[in-house]
Structure 1
Amino acid sequence: MTIDLPLILDLLGVFFFAVSGSLLAARKGFDIVGSVLLGSMVGLGGGVVRDIVLNQGPPAAFSNQIYLVPPLAAALLVYFTVKNVKRSGRLLFMFDAGGLALFCVTGSLKALDAGMNPVACILLGVTTAVGGGILRDITANDVPKVFDPKDLYAIPAFVGAGLTTAMWHLEWLNLASGTAAAVVVFTLRMLSLRYGWHAPLAARSWAARRPRRG
């Protein structure tokens, strides 16, 4: 019996993102159907975009029924275990960071296996990582985290996709190094939330100025 490691990592990423979607649905007061749909959207959206770009047939989310299991499991997990919806914000961020970390690695790997150039592999890894989150936040009427100036979202994904692509070309990529890349992304994302790290604003003149003391 052979273990399809890329598939397992992909499904794990779907589950992590789906939990974040179901948690957001709970915070917004959605019903269980909305929880499943929002979890499916964030868990599968980035992978669907990735597979369409790679043009290798129907997206995995539609050709392999096992991809439906993680969103269903995530919705049930949130339904039965979350007691205080208002205090679930930290959990949401943690699961979202976990999905981001896994998807920037698996998205880049799939592009590398398809023979795409390094820049395209990095971009597709980032697209896989942030695509579902954009759909989730827009559907829930929130500003997508990738556009939120208060923390880092796409930059950790770029770091993870870049590390994965570089290690693949150097023939250093294996389970341990791939896991390390995902851990770096997760840690960077959580530290940015903890310490308020963020990228420069689009225009320097828009930065908030300290009020002058009279």
Structure 2
Amino acid sequence: MLQQLFSPSVQHTLDLIGIFVFAISGALLAVRKNFDVFGMAVLAEVTALGGGLFRDLVIGAVPPAAFTDLGYFLTPLLATLLVFFLHPQVERIQVAVNVFDAAGLGLFCVAGTIKAYEYGLGLTASAGLGLTTAVGGGVLRDVLANEVPSLLRWDRDLYAVPAIVGSALAALCIRYDALNPLTSSLAVITAFVLRLLAMRYHWRAPRAWHRRSTVSEEEQPVLP
């Protein structure tokens, strides 16, 4: 087992913060899709917990943390209530929400990689599950809301790439026995900063060369 990077209370607090922010993004999408409060709660729970739940099931960490820690389940409901009553105000601070979402992305991709390795997976598979931990909930959210997942859309700023970088850095630290609170924090910060830069400068992944799409640029999906 790898050494405990942070105290349990600090790790738990960071997890809840990430879960809360991810849940807000799910609840906000539900509002835009005109879902009722139950639909808001479902999208909030799925967005916040989906990636970690999938990871835990794959590595055999059962029952998953989402079902053993009441705080993990209640935090998305708290985010749902906040958005239900104050969604115009929450929409107005979308930039701040996006910043915290980027922080959650960095935290979850690194934590997911480390946990997968602790349960016996190889470095590549661990990094893959780190990525899944960070973006899996968002994919499930979009699918349930009948949207093309954001990380597959050309018109969205890079999201998966920062998580891939963070997961890969964590895996490299494990490989060279350099994983400690400092290096893991640097991996989190790297993914966080890359996501912020992608949002600031609208970095996007390239599309196929010489593509012959039948969909014109004007018909492509428009950002909400």
Range class of TM-score, shorter chain: 0.7 to 0.9
Q: Does 1:38 align with 2:64?
A: no
Unmatched 5+ stretches in structure 1 = 209-214
Pick one of 122, 129, 133 that aligns with 1:124: 129
Cα-to-partner distance string for 1:91-130 (whole Å, 9 max, x where unaligned): 5533432332221011111112112211111111011111
Could you tell me whether the CA contact under 8 Å between 2:18 and 2:100 is conserved in 1?
no
Give matches, 1:165-180, under 5 Å: 165-180=171-186
What code does the residue aligned with 1:128 have? T
What code does the residue aligned with 1:147 have? L
- 1:20 Cα offset (Å): 1.2
Cα-to-partner distance string for 1:21-76 (whole Å, 9 max, x where unaligned): 12222333333322221110011100111011101322221233221122022122
Partner of 1:143: 148
Could you tell me whether the CA contact under 8 Å between 1:20 and 1:95 is conserved in 2?
no
Unmatched 5+ stretches in structure 2 = 1-6, 214-224
TM-score normalised by length of structure 1: 0.84
Give matches, 1:148-159, under 5 Å: 148-150=153-155, 151-159=157-165
How many aligned residue pairs are there? 206
- 1:5 Cα offset (Å): 4.2
Partner of 1:211: none
SS in structure 1 opposite 2:8? coil
TM-score normalised by length of structure 2: 0.81
Give matches, 1:1-214, under 5 Å: 3-84=8-89, 87=92, 89-150=94-155, 151-201=157-207, 203-206=208-211
| RMSD of aligned residue pairs (Cα, Å) | 2.3
What code does the residue aligned with 2:29 have? L
Moved over 4 A (4+): 84-89
Could you tell me whether the CA contact under 8 Å between 1:27 and 1:86 is conserved in 2?
no
